[in-house]
């Protein structure tokens, strides 16, 4: 149907209104769009429910239980959790994001996990957008990089360790800029109340929020070092120039440190006063040196585990920016380091130097020299991983990208016939960089497999939340055993112990990065004959040992046997006498044990417990 002239004029008028609103409220429009996207990215999880695909490594198999156990015993005086590892001290199950414990206390585990995921999306976008707007003032560039940052494969169990960093740095910069502007506009000394005005308190609350939503040992110490170093350098510089130093940086450091102390008192006591607590199994770890060039390449090109940003396209962008920079200097015969249009590039070079030094430290830290020192020193020098300063890198790469793209966007076009061509080239480079980087991150994000599952339905084969915990199978097992779960213990073979623990069984096995060394030795007795069969599994348990699992020479490093494999373990050497000492009455195995009777194990029933859509089937053996 043809439009009348009046309809056409109305549409033109509305379009002008929309464009005018956008041009006058551009920053808020991008902000609102990002908030909407954070909700849209949760739709696949909402539609799939328990069928959502979640990275189970270091999440469902371990860290999730630090939240579940802490939430279960919240506001009680219990200091040992009986559900896993025959009683795990609370210091061995410290949640990486203490504030998120409240979610697990208020909601079911899956719901709490999904809310955590949404909070991460929301905080990652909001923080990065606000930070880049303050640093560059470029709305579209800030918005696009914030969306990319939001999609990076962050683990919800680690809270805001990485995704909350931009919001933390934004708050610190806002306080610093406010103080600096005040110093320029007024000559009289500032009173103490100035630093604690209403808007300043809001920024301090953001800093405190980050502290109680992140881990001191994973990322917090790096933020404290960065903030403390910045405050110290600024103070020394101010003293040399006989100017007033910045107190806001020191106040920010104090607030962040206070937040970590308030939620990590138990862990801090264990480090400062080890004689009053248990000896951690980490004291027995033996670290292995790594190849310097390989580790540097990993950190610099893609990022280390848990802190990957897939930023290789930025290297091309950096080379292009440098080429334009020198070409411009040669053609115009200008100084290489003058002009406001070059400022973003100079700032980008500083960020790149920061990244380079961190990657250099990471590679050197894992080299032969430092590794040998750590192995012979013991104590906190050995057990504390300083290499997690690399968790600052995703934020740093995004800031670098913001500066580089701002440099491109700020290039002046010549007033010639080639101006339109110059504009197309400039914005083409910006769009191509953001597009390639965004697609690369999306392909590695946790959102991608869930989108694929929605599109492919039952044809998409992957281990999801429901299949991992297999509540339907463990419900059958509980009915078949017919005893209170707290009256006996179990161990698992070919299944993550987390599945049994999630379903209420009391487990001898489990995953913890800080449990008593004495228990490690006790648990080792269960499978010491099995460990002697393989140097690999023996070294893995003896020299690391975070996974206190039943590991066999035939099983190697596989912890989940799919039922379609029909797995069989032919020669299992378990010390059933030790199992009886530890009150273990049942063995849950995803593999059929050929020599079970020889070892004093009796099948509860011949057929394994399973359902039609289950990921694994489980044979239940009674310990005679």
d(Cα 147, Cα 152) in Å, to the nearest integer?
9
pLDDT at residue number 188:
44
Long-range Cβ contact pairs of 136-140 (< 8 A, separation 24 or more): 136/344, 136/402, 136/403, 136/406, 137/406, 138/402, 138/405, 138/406, 138/409, 139/26, 139/27, 139/30, 140/30
> 584 and 482 in one domain?
yes
> 485 and 350 in one domain?
no
> 491 and 394 in one domain?
no
> 563 and 476 in one domain?
yes
**Inside any domain, residue 239:** no
Task: State the pTM of this model.
Answer: 0.91
d(Cα 43, Cα 59) in Å, to the nearest integer?
21
Cβ contacts of 335 within 8 Å, gap of 6 or more? 329
Chain-centroid distance of CA 1 in Å reads: 54
**Inside any domain, residue 17:** no
Angle in degrees, 0-180, between the axes of helices 419-444 and 447-456, rounded to the nearest 10:
80
- Give 568's strand partners: 592
**Inside any domain, residue 527:** yes
> 475 and 403 in one domain?
no
CA triple 49-589-543, angle to 5 deg: 95
Cβ contacts of 530 within 8 Å, gap of 6 or more? 537, 551, 552, 553, 572, 573, 574
**Inside any domain, residue 533:** yes
**Inside any domain, residue 217:** no
pLDDT at residue number 183:
61
Q: Into how many domains does the chain fold?
A: 2
d(Cα 396, Cα 183) in Å, to the nearest integer?
28
Inter-CA distances, 211 with 96, 107, 167, 264, Å: 10, 23, 11, 10
> 500 and 365 in one domain?
no
**What is the DSSP code (8-state) at residue 280?**
B
Number of Cβ within 10 Å of residue 447's Cβ equals 22
Q: Which residue has the tokens 């779960």?
A: 485
Cβ contacts of 59 within 8 Å, gap of 6 or more? 155, 156, 157
Q: Where a domain ends, among 392, 411, 430?
A: 411
Quote the tokens at residue 570. 């032919």
**Inside any domain, residue 259:** no
Instruction: Find the length of the chain.
Output: 624
d(Cα 615, Cα 123) in Å, to the nearest integer?
34
Quote the tokens at residue 418. 């080639």
**What is the DSSP code (8-state) at residue 311?**
-
For residue range 450-499, what is the model confidence (pLDDT) as tens digits? 999 998 877 788 899 999 999 999 999 999 999 999 999 999 999 999 99
Q: Which residues of the chain have pLDDT under 70?
A: 1-25, 182-196, 245, 270-276, 328-341, 412-422
> 521 and 397 in one domain?
no
pLDDT at residue number 19:
58
> 617 and 474 in one domain?
yes
Q: Where a domain ends, among 384, 411, 438?
A: 411
Q: Which residue has the tokens 């373990």?
A: 569
The helix/strand/coil state of 585 is strand
The beta-strand segments (E) located in 71-187 are 80-81, 88-89
Helix %, strand %, coil % of the chain (to 5): 65, 5, 30
**Inside any domain, residue 199:** no
> 478 and 407 in one domain?
no
Handedness of CA 267, 269, 272, 277 (dihedral sign): negative
pLDDT at residue number 391:
96
Q: Which residue has the tokens 């800080």?
A: 514
In the chain, what's the furthest Cα-to-Cα distance?
92
Q: Which domain holds residue 352?
A: 280-411
According to DSSP H, which parts of 384-511 are helical?
A: 393-409, 419-444, 447-456, 465-469, 471-481, 497-502
d(Cα 262, Cα 98) in Å, to the nearest integer?
10
> 476 and 614 in one domain?
yes
CA triple 344-347-350, angle to 5 deg: 155
Quote the tokens at residue 253. 């450091």
For residue range 14-27, what is the model confidence (pLDDT) as tens digits? 565 565 555 666 78
**Inside any domain, residue 144:** no
DSSP secondary structure string, 153-174? ---GGGTTTTTTHHHHHHHHHH
Angle in degrees, 0-180, between the axes of helices 393-409 and 343-365, rounded to the nearest 10:
160
> 490 and 399 in one domain?
no
Q: Where a domain ends, among 375, 396, 411?
A: 411
CA triple 149-366-155, angle to 5 deg: 30
The helix/strand/coil state of 622 is strand
> 517 and 399 in one domain?
no
């Amino acid at each position: 149907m043809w439009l009348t002239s009046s309809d056409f004029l109305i549409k033109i008028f509305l379009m002008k209104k929309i464009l005018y609103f956008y041009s006058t409220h551009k920053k808020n429009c991008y902000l609102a769009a990002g908030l909407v996207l954070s909700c849209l990215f949760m739709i696949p999880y909402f539609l799939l429910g328990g069928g959502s695909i979640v990275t189970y490594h270091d999440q469902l198999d371990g860290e999730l239980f630090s939240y579940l156990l802490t939430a279960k015993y919240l506001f009680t005086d219990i200091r040992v959790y009986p559900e896993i590892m025959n009683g795990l001290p609370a210091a061995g199950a410290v949640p990486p994001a203490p504030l998120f414990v409240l979610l697990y206390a208020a909601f079911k585990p899956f719901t709490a996990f999904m809310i955590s995921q949404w909070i991460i999306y929301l905080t990652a976008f909001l923080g990065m957008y606000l930070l880049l707007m303050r640093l560059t003032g470029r709305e579209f560039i800030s918005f696009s990089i914030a969306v990319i940052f939001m999609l990076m494969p962050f683990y919800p169990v680690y809270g805001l360790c990485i995704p909350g960093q931009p919001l933390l740095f934004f708050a610190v910069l806002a306080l610093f800029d406010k103080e600096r502007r005040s110093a320029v506009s007024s000559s009289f000394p500032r009173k103490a109340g100035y630093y604690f005005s209403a808007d300043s308190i809001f920024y301090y609350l953001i800093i405190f929020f980050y502290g109680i939503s992140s881990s001191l040992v994973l990322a917090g110490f790096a933020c404290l070092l960065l903030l403390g170093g910045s405050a110290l350098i600024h103070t020394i510089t101010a003293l040399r120039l006989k100017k007033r130093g910045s107190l806001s940086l020191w106040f920010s450091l104090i607030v962040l440190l206070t937040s970590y102390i308030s939620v990590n008192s138990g862990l801090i006591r264990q480090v400062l006063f080890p004689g009053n607590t248990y000896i951690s199994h980490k004291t027995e770890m033996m670290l292995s040196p790594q190849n310097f060039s390989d580790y540097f390449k990993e950190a610099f090109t893609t990022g280390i585990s848990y802190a990957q940003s897939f930023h290789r396209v930025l290297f091309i962008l950096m080379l292009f920016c440098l080429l334009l920079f020198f070409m411009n200097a040669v053609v115009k015969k200008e100084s290489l380091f003058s002009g406001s249009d070059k400022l973003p590039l100079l700032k980008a070079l500083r960020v790149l130097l920061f990244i380079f030094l961190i990657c250099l430290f990471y590679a050197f830290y894992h080299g032969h020299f430092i590794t040998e020192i750590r192995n012979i020193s013991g104590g906190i020098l050995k057990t504390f991983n300083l290499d997690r300063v690399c968790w600052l890198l995703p934020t740093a790469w995004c800031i670098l990208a913001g500066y580089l793209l701002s440099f491109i966007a700020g290039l002046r076009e010549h007033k010639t016939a080639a101006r339109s061509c110059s504009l197309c080239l400039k914005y083409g480079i910006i769009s191509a960089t953001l597009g390639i980087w965004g697609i690369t991150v999306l392909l590695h994000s946790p959102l991608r497999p869930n989108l694929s599952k929605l599109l492919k339905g039952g044809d998409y084969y992957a281990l999801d939340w429901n299949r991992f915990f297999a509540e339907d199978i463990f419900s059958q097992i509980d009915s078949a055993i017919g005893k209170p779960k707290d009256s006996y213990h179990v161990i698992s073979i070919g299944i993550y112990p987390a599945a049994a623990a999630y379903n209420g069984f009391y487990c001898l096995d489990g995953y913890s990065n800080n449990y008593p060394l004495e228990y490690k030795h006790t648990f080792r007795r269960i499978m010491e004959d099995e460990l002697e069969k393989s140097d690999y599994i023996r070294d893995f348990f003896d020299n690391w040992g975070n996974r206190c699992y039943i590991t066999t020479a035939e099983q190697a490093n596989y912890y989940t046997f799919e039922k379609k494999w029909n797995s069989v373990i032919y020669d299992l050497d378990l010390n059933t006498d030790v199992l009886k000492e530890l009150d273990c009455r049942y063995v849950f195995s995803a593999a059929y044990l050929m020599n079970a009777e020889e070892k004093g194990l009796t099948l509860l029933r011949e057929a394994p417990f399973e359902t039609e859509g289950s990921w694994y089937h489980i044979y239940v053996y009674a310990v005679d």
